[in-house]
Amino acid sequence: MHVSFSSQSRAGGSQAPDCFAPSLPDEPLAKVLADSARWRCDLSAASLAPNRTVIRIPVDPDGTVPRFFSSVPIVAGDIVVALVDKDSRILTEKRFSPVEILAAPLDNRFLIPLPATKRQSKAVIVAFDYPINPSLFLRSRLLDSNPINEPQSVRLLLVVAIVCGLLAMPMAYNIAFYPVLRERFVVWHIILSLALLAQCLLSSGIAMHFIDLSVEQLFRGQVISFGMAVAAMCAFTEAFIEPGKLNPVLRKIMRWVPLWMVSVAMGHAFFPTVLRAIQVKLYYAAFIPVLVLLVISLINGLYRGSRSAELKLIGLTPFFAMGGIRLVTMLFPGFSPEEATPMLYVAIVVEGAVATLGVAHRLMNIKRQRDDALAETRIFEDLAERDPLTGLLNRRAIERNFEQLRAEGFRVCALIDLDYFKSINDSYGHAKGDEVLRSVAGALREDEDTLAIRMGGEEFMLLLRGSDARNRAEARRQAITRHVAIDVVGLDRPVTASMGLLEMAERGPQHVTFETLYTRVDRLLYDAKAGGRNRTFGEKMVVFSARGKDRRTLRRAA
């Protein structure tokens, strides 16, 4: 007894299946057609338990002859397509393996050209070996023409291309900013954008306009990119929420979610038939605790006052809606999954816009915090390089920056020592001596061409640049006596200073160290002391000689 056919068609030039039957992979289709007891016409009751499921799609005798069979690219085994006549006799049939079936460049489907036959067919029989998803049966269609040529298809591709462009912009923004502010959430947002871009290109069919992908490759690409998107979304959320604004236990758990999601995605992509009858439900069920954890983390962040959690919740709301639709449609095949596709594009646009604003907000906050920290560090460094008594630079500062200062043109070095300063401390006390030192610092005033340094005790150094540097150094030495006389009350003698001055030739030695320079100018200072004090001894340096010995001990005794 053969199964009878009833004509059923859908608007828009496509026909949908009306009945199904379980079978074995090697069982002839003619035998299945002949066994009417197997056939059931409630497609929502189709099960994944049989190793082969056969569906029947009637052909409208008054309509256009269909040219393609189409379904979703969730294929693990072979597909056999056959045309039958009104007496249920097979006119022609052809087998396709998953690697032979190319994904269509539109709407997340594949197209198989129907076998040619001279006789009129009444139905198309399609057998799926080792099916892994009931959507294969529910979304199977016969098409009169290739939908890629229809105007609405072009409009859809244009919309998706715009969405892909919107994804690419924040990705470029993050790549540009990462070298400046090396934050983990920037890396995870780049990975999230890449995964969503891949998902968008694959699910819309745009990718197939540039490369040929089999349904097996497309299936793996979609599963992996979706799993990576969820993994990156969780990692980005954890890193994006400010320190102290997320429960430490939740933060620790969230850091393990990417490993879990990548493992689930890889397992389902490369081993889809291990638990074939229930694997799809297990796969989608694996996302439920992740979504729950994500929601709990965002709520916890909001409770703790996280601005980032607030922005992230707004951005992820469409994804939660899309995820809910996808979970319902996959766990309960009676529901149509068509609503999830446009929601994906809406979710991508909203998440991309909000996340980019959030990343910009966080980057500005981090930059502000780092600028404040750098400013504070500079203050401490400045304090470390300044003499606390006089406010002048100290020896540490000049030693660290000597090469740079030479390169900037500071070629005149003057070493100044107060005459008979020890007697001031002995006669008037160290407090009075400190007043004298502060007054001397005022006399050695700094400007953009003059640096004043307190080397220690009553010894000071000037580094100068400019054509009149020698005269400016001498003017400052002579100003010491006037400044101290005005600033320090109660001294019974004028305070004078001796100075050794060394002018480095512009074309002279280029590898003079600070210690070498200091040793030479110190000898000149000693000569000034030995020559009667309150005077300057100077010379212009061309090369250094090693004459004499360091007589600092003799000068200090003077």
The closest of 335, 219, 230 to 286, measured between CA atoms, is 230
pLDDT tens string 77-107? 899 999 998 888 888 889 999 888 888 877 7
- Indicate the range of 180-184, 288-292, 351-355 predicted with least confidence: 351-355
- Indicate the range of 243-252, 353-362, 437-446, 528-537 predicted with least confidence: 353-362
Which neighbouring-strand residues pair with 125? 56, 82
Structure token digits, residue 62: 């008054």
* pLDDT value at residue 512: 78
Structure token digits, residue 196: 């969503």
Residue 315 scores a pLDDT above 80: no
Question: Residue 368 burial by CB count (10 A; 0-12/13-18/19+): exposed, middle or buried?
Answer: exposed
Check residue 32 and report its DSSP letter: H
- Indicate the range of 216-220, 266-270, 367-371 predicted with least confidence: 367-371
Concatenate the DSSP letters of all residues of 93-142 into one string. EEEE-TTTPBBPSSTT-EEEEPPP-SSPPSEEEEEEES---THHHHT-EE
Instruction: Among 244-248, 349-353, 361-365, 401-405, name the most confident range.
Output: 244-248
The closest of 486, 473, 490, 483 to 528, measured between CA atoms, is 473
Question: What is the 3 state secondary structure string of 300-334?
Answer: HHHHCCCHHHHHHHHHHHHHHHHHHHHHHHHHCCC
Question: Confidence class of residue 541 from pLDDT cuts 50, 70 and 90?
Answer: confident
- Position 94: which residue type? K
Which neighbouring-strand residues pair with 460? 416, 454
Residue ranges per structural domain of the chain: 14-147, 150-376, 393-557
User: Strands (DSSP E) along 190-286, which ranges?
Assistant: none
Question: Confidence class of residue 54 from pLDDT cuts 50, 70 and 90?
Answer: very high
The CATH label, of 2.40.300, 2.60.120, 3.40.50, 2.60.40, for the domain at 14-147 is 2.60.40
The closest of 230, 248, 242, 370 to 311, measured between CA atoms, is 242
- Indicate the range of 47-56, 294-303, 512-521, 541-550 predicted with least confidence: 541-550
Check: CB of residue 416 under 8 Å from CB of residue 496: no
* pLDDT value at residue 152: 67
Structure token digits, residue 52: 């082969």
* pLDDT value at residue 328: 63
Question: Confidence class of residue 435 from pLDDT cuts 50, 70 and 90?
Answer: very high
165 against 356, higher pLDDT: 165
* pLDDT value at residue 270: 92
For strands 459-464 and 450-456, give the pairing: antiparallel
Mean pLDDT rounded to a whole number for the chain: 82
Q: Which residues make Cβ contacts (< 8 Å) with residue 492, sequence separation at least 6?
A: none
* pLDDT value at residue 548: 43
For residue 131, CA distances in Å to 40, 72, 79, 245, 322 come to 17, 12, 9, 46, 25
Identical fold, 14-147 and 393-557: no
Q: Does domain 150-376 have CATH number 1.20.1070.10?
A: yes
Complete edge-to-edge strand list for the sheet that includes strand 90-96: 19-23, 52-58, 123-129, 79-84, 90-96
Active site residue 93: no
Residue 549 scores a pLDDT above 60: no
User: Using N-to-C axis directions, what is the helix angle for 469-487 and 430-443, rounded to 10°?
Assistant: 140
pTM over the 0.75 mark: no
* pLDDT value at residue 12: 42
The closest of 218, 219, 193 to 208, measured between CA atoms, is 218
* pLDDT value at residue 266: 95
- Position 522: which residue type? D
Residue 120 scores a pLDDT above 50: yes
Which neighbouring-strand residues pair with 55? 20, 126
HSE of 48 in the Cβ direction (CA atoms, 13 Å)? 25
What is the sign of the dihedral through the CA atoms of 304, 310, 315 and 321?
positive
CATH code for the domain defined by 393-557: 3.30.70.270
Question: Confidence class of residue 533 from pLDDT cuts 50, 70 and 90?
Answer: very high
Q: Which residues make Cβ contacts (< 8 Å) with residue 423, sequence separation at least 6?
A: none
| Alpha helices (runs of H) in 514-557, residue ranges in sequence order | 514-530, 552-557
Identify how many contiguous H helices and E strands the chain contains and give both numbers: 16, 15
Structure token digits, residue 262: 């990548």
Instruction: Among 152-166, 298-312, 324-338, name the most confident range.
Output: 298-312
| Euclidean distance between CA atoms 524 and 219, whole angstroms | 85
Which neighbouring-strand residues pair with 452? 462
User: Strands (DSSP E) along 387-467, which ranges?
Assistant: 393-394, 412-418, 450-456, 459-464
Cα dihedral 243→244→245→251 (10° resolution): 80
For strands 497-504 and 536-541, give the pairing: parallel
The closest of 196, 193, 246 to 224, measured between CA atoms, is 196
Structure token digits, residue 284: 């989608």
Check residue 247 and report its DSSP letter: -
301 against 176, higher pLDDT: 301
| H or E stretch covering 493 | none
Active-site hit among 216, 238, 435, 458: 458
Question: Confidence class of residue 338 from pLDDT cuts 50, 70 and 90?
Answer: low
* pLDDT value at residue 322: 67
Question: Confidence class of residue 555 from pLDDT cuts 50, 70 and 90?
Answer: very low
pLDDT tens string 197-239? 888 888 888 888 888 898 889 999 999 998 998 899 899 889 8
